[in-house]
Homo-oligomer: A and B are copies of this chain.
Amino acid sequence: MKKDALNIYDIAKMAGVSIATVSRVVNGSDKVSETTRQKVLAVIDEVDYTPNVFAQGLGLKTMHTVGILVPTIVDHYMATAVSYLERGFKEQGYDCILGCSGFDAEGKHAKTEMILTKHIDALVYVGSTYAGDGRDEGTTDYIREAAKQVPVFIINGSVEGDNIYCAVCEDEQASYEAASLLTSHGRKDILFLSDSRSYSAINKKKGYQRALSEAGLDPDEGVIFVDDDIHAVRDTLFRMDRKIDGILAVNDKIAAGAVKYAVESGIRIPGDIEIVGYNNSQLAISSTPEISSVDNYTELICDDTVSRLMKILDDREAKPQRETRFPCTLIYRETTG
């Protein structure tokens, strides 16, 4: 059936040289005469030989793969990030092993263990959910544990530890600015809609609260937890039966739910209520009216992560910046005045 692939011995025999020479040619060593190089290359090209990655991995202890863990790939933000990471790593000759861990500790822990058994060269966590809520150090212990084996990178989250590198966007500031925009418009009843206590959600909340405090508003009573579901958010707002003239959501899906609520309630946007989403995704555009949303430069963050990661892989002694920070910017659309 599946005829065994040719190995280095076959090539050596066909080219009339030793396996060492073949190996040298394959790996681009300069210690081989041009004539033999051509001879070997001809054979390799002829029979379409590719070195066995398992054997390479056995000796070199690397198979040029990096592991990527996301809570769910269905989320647009994660998908986008994975897309950029995959592109970047591939450019550097690294393949990606993907794992979807879910949001609970057990899954994160289990998937981390599993993916580590694959002897990946590095591990990238995508999503601030992996950074925990910053309160309970124990929740991120599995990351420090993983970092003992391979360099660990976190996209959009910050975790302390040796061999752990982070890239975060300045959510606190972005959220502060968005909320300040609303308070500056005289909004008094501004909600903060969040579905988690992840690292980034916490920072967004801080920014929101800072803005409200500065405006002399109660920074706590507007903080609401909701499910990450358009209709669930809408219904939650319906049930609240409370005057609202501003909403800051931690993602566009939640913001879209808020828009539904306003539209179906006959509340005018942005006249009576202003709404700001987060991630600047297609959902913000699909919605009517289109949602003003914070863009968090996923591409920039991912490219930076790839380049810092490669720095380590190229030189195991290299110590790139432990944490890089990126700004966010609010994209103005129709839900803000």
Interface residues of A (CB under 8 A from B): 1-2, 50, 52-55, 57-58, 61, 63, 65, 68, 72-76, 79-80, 82-83, 86-87, 90, 95-100, 114-115, 117-119, 148-150, 230-231, 252-253, 256, 259-260, 263, 282-283, 285-288, 316
Contact = CB atoms under 8 A, between A and B. Distances in A.
A265 B173 CA distance: 38
How many identical subunits does the complex contain? 2
A19 B118 CA distance: 22
Contacts of A150: 2
A72 B79 CA distance: 9
28 contacts: A2-B149, A52-B119, A53-B118, A54-B55, A54-B58, A54-B63, A55-B58, A57-B57, A58-B58, A63-B118, A68-B98, A74-B76, A74-B80, A75-B79, A86-B98, A86-B99, A90-B99, A95-B99, A96-B97, A96-B99, A230-B286, A231-B285, A252-B286, A253-B282, A256-B286, A263-B288, A286-B287, A287-B287
A45 to B, nearest CB: 14
A311 to B, nearest CB: 16
A104 to B, nearest CB: 14
A283 B100 CA distance: 22
Given A118-B95, A283-B282, A83 B74 contact: yes
Contacts of A231: 285
A227 to B, nearest CB: 14
A309 B157 CA distance: 37
Contacts of A119: 52-54
Given A2-B148, A54-B55, 7 more contacts: A50-B117, A90-B99, A95-B114, A96-B97, A97-B98, A283-B283, A287-B288
B79 A74 contact: yes
Contacts of A50: 117
A76 B282 CA distance: 10
Contacts of A288: 259-260, 263, 287-288
A121 to B, nearest CB: 11
A119 B173 CA distance: 47
Contacts of A253: 282, 286
B1 A97 contact: no
Most buried by B among A72, A79, A150: A79
Nearest to A67: B95
A331 to B, nearest CB: 13
Give 7 nearest A-B pairs by CB, closest first. A54-B57, A98-B98, A256-B286, A54-B58, A286-B286, A288-B288, A79-B79
Nearest to A51: B117
Contact of A96 (B76, B98, B259, B260): B98
